[in-house]
């Protein structure tokens, strides 16, 4: 899998887009929640996390939803939450890794947000998530292969983000500052 050659790349902020929010998409372990929290603080925006919204709505953890109800039920929750996001303003939205992995979700996010994909290679992702146990999709005999498989499936969708930011050699603060800069640029030039 190729990494973007530039650290950030404006791909498609079409004219007249309504951009009220920032939506962070990208694979598990790319830092969406940490970057999102800091970017929200820097912008003086509210921060929301789609996984947390789902957990509140379901009354149980993402892990338990996968375990007790299955992935398809979790994806239904995601779609429902995405519809609720449409009315948000001045909000940084961190999404679960699967959200940016399909066309309909991307279209929905682009209706109100600048969509920023945080990027890292499979090896870096593996290094970041290998000791964590809360990710249901990685509870398999070969989690490294699962990361590769999911990244291959999702890459064409992740690449449709307005902005791609390589997180490999940047601190959370540097990535968040970059996101804030791109947001200001996008709202001035839309
Ligand atoms: C998922 C990523 C997780 C969470 C769920 C499914 C995915 O979120 O939504 O376990 O499909 O990649 P993070 O990306 O925050 O780990």
Name residues contacting ligand 1 (CB within 6 A).
28, 32, 51, 62, 96-98, 135-137
Enter the tokens of residue 3.
Answer: 């990494």
Enter the tokens of residue 15.
Answer: 């004219």
Q: Measured from the CA of 33, which atom of ligand 1 is nearest?
A: 15
Pairwise CA distance, residues 100 & 98, whole Å: 6
pLDDT at 7 over 80: no
Q: Averaged over 15-42, what is the pLDDT?
A: 94
Enter the tokens of residue 31.
Answer: 């830092």
Q: Measured from the CA of 137, which atom of ligand 1 is nearest?
A: 10
Pairwise CA distance, residues 116 & 31, whole Å: 12
> Under a CB-based contact definition with an 8 Å cutoff, are residues 22 and 43 in contact?
yes
**pTM metric for this prediction:** 0.93
Band of the pLDDT at 61, cuts 50, 70, 90? Answer: very high
């Amino acid at each position: 899998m190729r990494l973007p050659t530039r650290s950030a790349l404006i791909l498609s902020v079409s004219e007249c887009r309504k951009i009220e929010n920032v939506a962070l998409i990208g694979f598990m372990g790319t830092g969406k929640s940490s970057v999102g929290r800091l970017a929200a603080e820097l912008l003086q925006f509210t921060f929301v996390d789609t996984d947390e919204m789902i957990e509140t709505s379901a009354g149980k953890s993402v892990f338990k939803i996968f375990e007790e109800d299955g992935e398809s039920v979790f994806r239904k929750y995601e779609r429902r939450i995405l519809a609720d996001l449409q009315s948000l303003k001045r909000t940084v939205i961190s999404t679960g890794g699967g959200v940016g992995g399909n066309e309909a979700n991307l279209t929905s996010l682009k209706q109100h947000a600048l969509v920023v994909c945080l990027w890292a290679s499979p090896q870096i992702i593996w290094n970041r998530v290998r000791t964590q146990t809360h990710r249901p999709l990685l509870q398999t005999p070969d989690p490294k292969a699962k990361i590769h498989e999911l990244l291959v499936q999702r890459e064409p969708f992740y690449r449709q983000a307005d902005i791609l930011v390589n997180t490999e050699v940047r601190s959370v603060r540097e990535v968040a500052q970059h996101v804030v800069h791109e947001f200001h640029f996008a709202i001035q030039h839309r």
